[in-house]
Structure 1
Amino acid sequence: MDAPTMSSPPIDDTGPPSPEPVTRPPSQPSDSPWPLYEDDEDAAFVPQNNARDFNAIITRARHNVQHTVEPSEDSNTASSVSEESNHSLPAIAWNNNDQVEPEEPPAKVRKVHSPQEEIDGETCPICLDIWGNSGAHRLVALKCGHLFGSECVERWLKAQPAKDKTCPTCKSKASLKDLRFIYARKLIAADTTEITSLQKQVEILQTEKNRTELELQKTKIAHRACAAELETLKNSLLKSQTMKELISKRTWRYALEKNLEVCKDGGCRVLTYNCRTYELYVSQKSVNYLFPGYGIRKVNCIDYSLGQFVHLHPKPIRDMAYSQPRDLLLSVGLDSTARIVDRGILSATVNTGFPLWSCAWDCSNTSEFYVGGVGGIVNVYDFRNLSACLGTIACNRDMSPVVSLCSTPYGLLSCQLNKCWLCVPQDGIWKQKPMPVEGSFMSMSYDNETQRALVSVRPSASGSERSKLVVCKFSEGLTDKVMIDVEETFSGSARASLMSRSTFCKAPGASWVAAHSESDSALFLHGLDGARTMSLPAAEPALDVCSLYLNGNSILAALSESRLRMYRAVQTSV
C-alpha cells in the first residue's frame, strides 16, 4: 500500500483562469503520516489535541507504517523496515520542531476541591476543630453569617471589651445576643451527642478523682499527725512510767514549817491564796476598837510575815474567793454585802438584801461571780455593772443556806446544808441536777486538774456514823450529759461541832484530801491514787485548809480561830 500523497485540487476548465499558484516548499517530507497543509490559514482549523490524543495518533501512525511492507518479503526485510520505521518516527515527530507550530495550552479545567479543603469548611475557624450538632461546641452563627463553635465564639466575645466586641472573621460588630444556633437539614459534622455524654462522664470522674485525691492527701496528713502524736504519747507514757517508778520508791510526809498567831481575839474563819503576790488572805476580827468589824490580813508565804489589814465587813466574813485573771478578791459576810478588793483597796460593794455564806468567780467568764446565802438563793453579778443582778438560782425544795459554791466547766456546784446540786444554764434557765451524795453537808471543794469534787458530810445526829469525805468524779456522757460518779469515800470525825472545810492537797506523784478530825484532834490527809494516809497533830480545830505550791514546795496551810499553821511536804525514802 503506497504512502498517501497530497495533490492539488482539480481545476475547472470552464471557469476563468486562476492565477498561477505559488509554490512553497513542503513543511514535511512526502512520506510523513501527517497530512500536509499548504498554508498557515489551514493550521487554524487543525484540532488541538491533548497529550492523550497525541499518543493515540502516534500509535496509529506506527501501525500504518508497519502495514506498508510487502507480505512476500522475508522476515529480515520486514524486521529491518519495522526497525527503521520505529527509528524514523521520533525523527518525524521531533526533528522538525523548528517547522511545527507550537500547540496552544489546553482548555481551562474546573478546579476540583480536595477532601482536606472540604474538611476545612467544616471546622471552627477559631479552634480548627470540627463542630457538632450538640454540646458546648455546637454550630452557631453571628448576625454577619459566619459560623463558629458556640463555646469558642462565646469565649472570644467575652474576652473583648463591651464596646469592641467583633466577629473573629469579618470584624463586624457582634455581641452574645447575636448568637444563633444553626438547625440545618444536612449538617456535615460529627455527631457529638455520645461524645458529649462521655466527656461529661469523664469530667464527673475527673472531679471524683480530684476529690478522692484531696481526701487521700488529707488522710495522709492526718495520718502523719496522728503518728507524730502517737509517738509523742508513747514517749510521754514511757516518761511518766519512769517517773512513777521513781516516785513509787519515795514517799512524802508533812512537817510543820511555821505556826503564826494571826489574832489574839480570834475571829479567823476562812483563807485563800494569791498566786501572784505569794500571799495568803486570812479573815479576822478587827483589832482596832475605833473601827469594829471584820477584814482580811495578808500573810507573806515567803518569809511568813504578817502584812496589811484591810477592813471590809461589819459582821463576820463567811467566804472569800480570789480571781487570778482579774487580780481581784471577793468576800461575802453576814451583813448581806459582797465586797471586791483591788490590790488591797476596797473598790466595790453589792448589797443583796440577805445574809451571804459563800461566793465564787465564774471559771469561763472572769467578769461574773456568784454569791449564795440563806434561803438557798444564789445571785449572779457582773463586777463591771453591779447595779443589777444578772440572774438568780433558787431551790424551792430546800431553804437551807448555801455553804459552798464552786464554778466548774460542767456547771455551778451548789452545796447547801441538806442538799448538793449541779446547776447548768439551758436557754436562760438554770437546771438543777442532784449529786449522788446524801446527808447533812459542811463544805465542798473542786479540783480542776482531776475534775473531782470533795464533799464533807456531817456525822449522824445519833453518833452512830462518823463524818465522811466523799470524792466524786465528773465526766461527759454519751448524750452530752454530765456523769457524776462516787469514786472514793473516807471516814472522818465522830463529832463535828464546828463547820470545818476540807480541800485537795498535792505533792509530786501523790495527792490527798485534807480535813480536820475534831474527835481525833488531828488533821488527816487521806491518800488518793495509792498515796499513804497521814495525820498531823492539831490541838486547835482547823476551820479552813488551803493547799499551795511555792518555789517547788508543796505547802499546806491550816487556819484555826487565832492561829495559822504552815506545813511543808518533805520527801522520804522507803
Structure 2
Amino acid sequence: MEEEDQVRVSQANNSSTCSSPSQQNTTSDVHGNRDNFEDYDASQCDGLFCPICMHAWTADGDHYLCSLPCGHLYGMSCVKRWLELCGKNFGKCPQCNIKYKMKEIRKIYASRVVVADEDFNKKLQVAETKCTLLVEKEADWHRKEEEWHKRENALCLELHQLKERTKEMEQLLQNRRSVVEGYMVPPSFPVGGSSHHFLLQKELQLEGARLFDIDASGQTLIIARRLSGLGGEHFLSKISLIPPYESQNIFLPPNTKACRDLRVAPSFARLALLATLGKKMSILSLESNNVVLAYDLPAAAWSCSWDLNNPHNVYAGLQNGMLFLFDMRQTGRPVESMTGLACNPVHNIHSVIRNPSSPGGVNTLLSASAIGLCQWNFGAVEERQSQVPETENHGVCISSAYSPSNDDIVASFRPKVEMLNEMAFSQPNLTPIPTGLGQGVQGSHVHLKRVGNKYYQWGFSQANVNHIRLPKSLIIERKNERPLFASGDEFTGELVLQDLPSLAVVQRLQPSPFSPISPVLDVKHTNAWSPSFLCCLREDKLQLFSAKPLP
C-alpha cells in the first residue's frame, strides 16, 4: 500500500510538473498558436481534431494520426512535442496518464475518424430543419414581392389607360372627317378601345436581328440575323417560345446574302420562304433546317409571299419592280412574271383571298413600292396591274399591312423629297434629319377597305416614321373585336397600337427602360395560343407581349 501511495504521489507531481495539453491550450497550444477554445465544445469535435492542439490531423506530413498504447489518438508532432516537454525517456498520455515510449506509438492509416454522437446528429437535424424553414420564408417573401409588383403594374396600367382614353378622344375629334366625294363613308363604329391590353412577358437579347416570323405549329420564332463585324455571315435562328427559350442557328448557303423578307407558310407545312439580296428566293424546311428549293432571280429579291388560294404557289418581289410567280412543283423556271409600273423595289407583297365572283384562275396580289399600292392580277387577260388611286398623293410609301379576313389595308407614307428642279424624287435623303428622339419625319397612315376590286379610304392619321429605313407594320386580327394596326413611332421608340378604322391610339408599348431608344424593326402577332402573342423586334432585342383582359 505504501508503494502504491508513493506511485500516486509521483504521478501527481509529474502531472503538476507537466500539465495536460488540454488544459494549456486555452491560452497557447504546443505549436505556439494563441487561440481561445473556451467556447469550443470538444464533445462535438471528438474524432475530428487532435486533443492536444485542437487542430485537424493530416493524412501526411508531421501531424499524421497516431495511437498511444492506451488507445488514445493524437497528432504525431504533438505527441513528440509532449514527450520532449516531459523531459524523460517515456511520457504519459495527456488523458489517462498511462506511460508510453516513442517506439510504442503506432501510426493510424486513416484520413478521418469520427465518433458517432446521437445528440450532435439531432442538433444537426434541427439546424437543417431551421434552414429549410428560412428558405421557405424567403421564397414566401419573394412571392409577396411579386404580388406587390403586379399590383403596382396594374395601377400603372390603369393610369396609362386613362391617359390613352383622353388622347383617343382628342384624336377622334381631330381625325373625324366629313364625307369626301369619291370616298366610301364607313358606317358608324362605337367609340372605345380594346377589351384587351398587351403586357410585356419576356425580353430576349438577339445580336444582329433584322426581321422574323412566327412558326405557330412549331411554337418557334424564325429570325434573320447577321454576325457583327465587317463581312459578317447571314444566318437564321430558331428560338422556342416555350421557356427556357432554346435557340438553334441555321446557316444559309454561300452567296445568299442579306434576307429582305421572311414568311412562314400559313398552313402546317412547316416551311419558310426567304427573299434575299443574293438574287435568290429559297424555301426552307423548318423540320430538317435545310433549304429544299431555291429559285434564281434576275435581280435581288426584296419581298415574298405565299399564295392564300393555292398552297403550291409562291411570289417574289424584286428590286427592279418586277413580280414573279413560281409553282413549287415546277422547279425550273417561274410560271409567270410581270413588269412593274415603276422601277422602284417591291418591298411588300400580300396575297388576296379570291372573291367567289372573280374569274376562275386569277390570283390577285397587293404590292407596295415607293409610288404606292398596286394590284396585280396573275392569270388575267386584261387589267393585269393597276395602281390603287387612293395611295397616289400621300408621299413615298414605305410600308403596308393587310388583313386577309376582312380586306383591311393600312399603307404608311413619308413625305417626298423635292429636288432643285422641282421634280419629286422618291428616294430618301441620305443626310439624317435630327427631329425628335429618333431619325424620323412626320408622315401618315392611310386605312383602306377593299370591296371587290375597288378601294375606299376609311381613315387617316399622322405618324412619326423613319426617313430612310423601310419599317414593318401589322394588322392584328382579333376574334369578335375590331382589328388593331401596329407600327413603330420613330420619335419615341414605342410600338403604337391603333384601332381600325378610326386609327385612334389604343396602347403604346414602351421600349425597355434600361436601354437606349431603338426603332421597331419588325412586328408579328399570332392567335394560335391563348392568350395571343405579340412579338416586337428592336435592335438586338426581341420583346414578347401577351394579351390580357382588362379588369
User: What is the TM-score normalised by the length of structure 1?
Assistant: 0.52
| 1:312 aligns to 2:252 (yes or no) | yes
CA contact (8 A) 2:496 2:505 kept: no
The alignment status of 1:384 with 2:351, answered yes or no, reads: no
Output the CA distance in 2 between the equivalents of 1:450 and 1:568. 23
Structure-2 change in CA distance of 1:359 and 1:346 (3 Å): same
Name the CA distance, whole Å, in 1 between partners of 2:317 and 2:455: 23
CA offsets per residue over residues 91-122 of structure 1, 9 Å max, x none? xxxxxxxxxxxxxxxxxxxxxxxxxxxxxxxx
1:523 equivalent in structure 2: 495
Q: How does 1:140-219 map to 2 (within 5 A)?
A: none
Q: What's 2:526 paired with?
A: 548
Residue number in structure 2 paired with 1:455: 411
Match for residue 273 of structure 1 among 214, 233, 244: 214
Letter in 2 for 1:404: N
Is the Cα contact below 8 Å between 1:250 and 1:571 reproduced in 2? no
CA 293–562 in structure 1, closer or farther in 2 if over 3 Å, else same: same
Aligned to 2:100: none
Aligned-partner Cα distance in 2 for 1:260–1:459: 34
Q: 2:378 aligns with which of 418, 425, 429?
A: 425
**8 Å contact kept, 2:493–2:520:** no
Q: Is the 8 A contact 1:286 1:311 kept in 2?
A: no
- Secondary structure in structure 1 of the residue aligned to 2:257: coil
The correspondence for 1:444, drawn from 400, 406, 423, is 400
Cα shift readout 1:380-417 (whole Å, capped 9, x = no counterpart): 1111222111111112x411111011110251111112
Residues 465 and 488, structure 2, Cα contact 8 Å, conserved in 1: no
Deviation at 1:496, TM superposition (A): 3.1
Cα shift at 1:339: 1.0
**Amino acid in structure 2 at the alignment position of 1:388:** R
The DSSP-based 3-state class of the residue aligned with 1:493 is strand
Cα distance in 2 for partners of 1:252, 1:278 equals: 22
From 406, 419, 443, the counterpart of 1:467: 443
Q: Distance in 2 between matches of 1:249 and 1:381?
A: 42
Which range moved further: 348-357 or 303-312? 303-312
Within the candidate set 261, 266, 278, 1:324 is matched to: 266
For residues 543 and 288 of structure 1, the distance between their equivalents in structure 2, rounded to whole angstroms, comes to 20
Tell me: CA distance 1:494–1:316, structure 2 relative to 1, closer, same or farther (3 Å). Answer: closer
- Residues 350 and 402, structure 2, Cα contact 8 Å, conserved in 1: yes
What is residue 342 of structure 2 aligned with on the other side?
398
Deviation at 1:506, TM superposition (A): 4.2
- Contact 1:496–1:518 (CA<8 Å) still a contact in 2? no
Q: Measure how far apart 1:251 and its partner are.
A: 3.1
State the distance in 2 between where 1:521 and 1:460 align: 23
What RMSD in Å do the two structures reach over aligned CA positions? 2.9
What amino acid sits opposite 2:370 in the alignment? L
Distance 1:491 1:347, change over 3 A: same
8 Å CA contact retained: 1:460, 1:467 = no
Q: Aligned pair 1:572/2:550, yes or no? A: yes
Cα distance in 2 for residues equivalent to 1:401 and 1:567: 32
Q: How many residues align?
A: 319
Matches within 5 A, 1:243-282: 251-263=195-207, 266=208, 268-282=209-223
In structure 2, the partner of 1:415 is 368
How far, CA to CA, are the matches of 2:412 and 2:258 in structure 1? 22
- CA distance in structure 2 between the partners assigned to 1:316 and 1:381 by the alignment: 21
Q: Secondary structure at the match of 1:269?
A: strand
Task: Note the C-alpha offset of 1:252.
Answer: 2.5
The change in CA–CA distance for 1:559 and 1:494 in structure 2 (over 3 A counts) is: closer
The reply on whether 1:534 has 2:507 as its aligned counterpart is yes
Find the structure with the greater CA-based Rg. 1
Aligned counterparts of 2:454 and 2:324: Cα–Cα separation in 1: 25
- Corresponding position of 2:308: 363
How far the C-alpha of 1:550 sits from its partner, in A, is 4.1
The residue number in structure 2 matching 1:303 is 243
- The whole-number CA distance in structure 1 between the counterparts of 2:494 and 2:471 is 13
Task: Tell me what 1:44 maps to.
Answer: none
2:224 matched to 1:283? Answer: yes
Bigger relative contact order (CA 8 A; separation at least 6): 2
Following TM superposition, by how much is the alpha carbon of 1:459 offset from its aligned partner in structure 2, in angstroms? 3.8
Instruction: Say whether 1:501 aligns with 2:501.
Output: no
Name the CA shift for 1:408/1:427 in 2 (closer, same or farther; >3 Å): closer
Deviation string 1:129-179 (CA, Å, 9 cap, x unpaired) is xxxxxxxxxxxxxxxxxxxxxxxxxxxxxxxxxxxxxxxxxxxxxxxxxxx
Judge conservation of contact 1:459–1:494 (CA < 8 Å) in 2: no
Rounded Cα–Cα distance in structure 1 between residues aligned with 2:443 and 2:405: 26
Structure 1 portions without partners, runs of 5+: 1-243, 477-481
Structure 1 counterpart of 2:68: none
* Partner residue, 2:458: 487
Per-residue CA distance 1:513-534 (angstroms, 9 max, x = gap): 0100111221111112577521
Paired residue type of 1:544: D
Give unmatched runs, 5+ long, in structure 2. Answer: 1-188, 355-363, 419-432, 436-440, 512-516
Distance 1:257 1:506, change over 3 A: farther
1:426 and 1:384, CA in 2 relative to 1: closer, same or farther beyond 3 A?
A: closer
Where do 1:96-107 residues align within 5 Å? Answer: none
Letter in 2 for 1:551: W
Q: Residues of 1 paired with 2:338 and 2:350: CA distance?
A: 14
Distance 1:520 1:461 in 2: 23
Confirm or deny: 8 A CA contact 2:458 2:501 kept in the other structure: no
Q: Partner of 2:134 in structure 1?
A: none
User: How far apart in 2 are the matches of 1:356 and 1:518?
Assistant: 26
Q: What amino acid is aligned across from residue 535 of structure 1 in structure 2?
A: R
CA distance in 2, matches of 1:551, 1:304: 18
Alignment of 1:112-123 (within 5 A): none
Q: Quick one: structure 1 residues 249 and 513, their matched pair in 2 at CA, closer, same or farther if it must change by over 3 Å?
A: closer
Change beyond 3 A, Cα 1:428–1:389: farther
1: CA distance, partners of 2:510 / 2:380: 50
Q: CA deviation at 1:286?
A: 4.3
CA distance in 2, matches of 1:347, 1:364: 22
Q: Is the 8 A contact 2:258 2:276 kept in 1?
A: yes
Judged with a 3 Å threshold, the aligned counterparts in structure 2 of structure 1 residues 561 and 384 are, in CA distance, closer, same or farther, namely farther
Distance 1:407 1:336 in 2: 22
1:83 aligned residue: none
- State how far apart, in whole Å, the 2-side matches of 1:491 and 1:249 are: 19
Distance 1:387 1:381 in 2: 9
Question: 2:448 and 2:403 mapped to 1: Cα distance?
Answer: 11
Secondary structure in structure 2 of the residue aligned to 1:402: coil
Per the alignment, residue 320 of structure 2 pairs with 375
- Specify whether residues 317 and 430 from structure 1 end up closer, same or farther in structure 2 by C-alpha distance, changes over 3 A only: farther
Q: Is residue 193–residue 506 contact of structure 2 (8 Å, CA) maintained in 1?
A: no
